Amino acid sequence: MAASKIEVFTDIENELAELAKALGHPARVAILRELARRNVCVCGEIVNVLPLAQSTVSQHLKELKSAGLISGTVEGVKSCYCINHDSVSRLKNLLDELFAAVSQNCSC
Amino acid sequence: MAASKIEVFTDIENELAELAKALGHPARVAILRELARRNVCVCGEIVNVLPLAQSTVSQHLKELKSAGLISGTVEGVKSCYCINHDSVSRLKNLLDELFAAVSQNCSC
DNA sequence: AAATTTCATCGCAAAAATACGATGAAATTG
DNA sequence: CAATTTCATCGTATTTTTGCGATGAAATTT
């Protein structure tokens, strides 16, 4: 047994964990950074920004898409990706809710 | 080769990825939730809140601590944990910076 | 129509994460 | 001082993640 026990946690916990997990790799942060920097749908060129093989970048894009953080469309021979603003807002809201009661460092 | 290529990414990218990764498991979100709910150092009882084996919870606590999201001290026979507010702030700031330019959903 | 470009998917190998029982250390209790 | 409590760590099994080359599909170019 090594699979994570998703079913025993709340929907909120699973939702936040899924979004955070998608952010939990520097390559995916780098992808989001590039998309955010341009703030438009980026068609192509994503692969060129990263020091990884094309297939690896494609896989990371798929994971970001699967988590809902980005959306992608096909434009001719190219694939266009952009950040899903709603999803980002959701992530921030979940974080704010989670840490709402935490106002200062603990004493221990 | 399967190890993640941390060295080729920026410090910022690695830092955010590390914090997000720590949040990227529902058990760890649940732990943070419990710590946040009480908003004090929690000594003991953390294990009882989760439907996981004691050793597994201990491991998750270790990861949260290693990422800096919580701090832990030993109080007699018990271990006390609480949320590291600075770390939470840092995470929020990194997210805000990352998505600062993203103000609306894309059109594609 | 053939060649090229762009990118997703497949298959594989290596590494990391997840989970648990067993064990042990340190403090507390009886 | 023996028994108990609390929890970290070790060892191990399983699953998931990461990464890449190879391949193929779809559109574009020559």
- Label residue B107 exposed, middle or buried (CB < 10 Å: 0-12, 13-18, 19+): exposed
Q: Which residue has the tokens 């894309």?
A: B106
Question: How far is the first Cα of chain B from the last one, in angstroms, to the nearest whole number?
Answer: 35
Q: What percent of chain A has pLDDT over 90?
A: 82
pLDDT digits 0-9 by tens, B26-71: 999 999 999 999 888 899 999 999 999 999 999 999 999 999 999 9
3-state helix vs strand vs coil in chain B, percent to 5: 55, 15, 30
pLDDT over 60 (residue B2): no
Contacts of B86 in chain A (CB under 8 A): 105
Determine the pLDDT at residue A6: 53
Mean pLDDT over A56-73 rounds to 97
What is the CATH T-level fold of the domain B10-93, as seen in this structure?
Arc Repressor Mutant, subunit A (1.10.10)
Protein-to-nucleotide distance from the CA of B76 to the C1' of D18, whole angstroms: 41
Residue with tokens 């809140």: B49
Domain ranges of chain A: 11-95
Q: Provide DSSP, chain A.
A: --S--GGGS-HHHHHHHHHHHHH-SHHHHHHHHHHHHHTS-EES-HHHHSSS-HHHHHHHHHHHHHTTSEEEEEETTEEEEEE-HHHHHHHHHHHHHHTTT--S----
Distance from CA of A7 to the nearest CA of B (A): 10
Nucleotide of closest approach to A76 (CA, C1'): D27
Q: Which of B94, B87, B41 is nearest to B64 (CA)?
A: B87
Q: pLDDT tens-digit profile of A45-64?
A: 999 999 999 999 999 999 99
pLDDT of A88 = 97
Contact at CB, B17 and A24, closer than 8 angstroms? yes
Q: Which nucleotide is closest to the Cα of A27 by its C1'?
A: D18
How distant is C1' of C6 from CA of A43, in Å? 10
Q: Which fold has domain A11-95?
A: Arc Repressor Mutant, subunit A (1.10.10)
CB contacts, 8 Å: A29 with chain B: 9, 13, 16-17, 20, 98
**What pTM was computed for the model?**
0.93
Question: CB neighbours (10 Å) of residue B6?
Answer: 13
Q: Strand C: which positions are within 7 A of a protein CB?
A: 5-11, 13-22, 26-28
Residue recorded with tokens 């106002």: A103
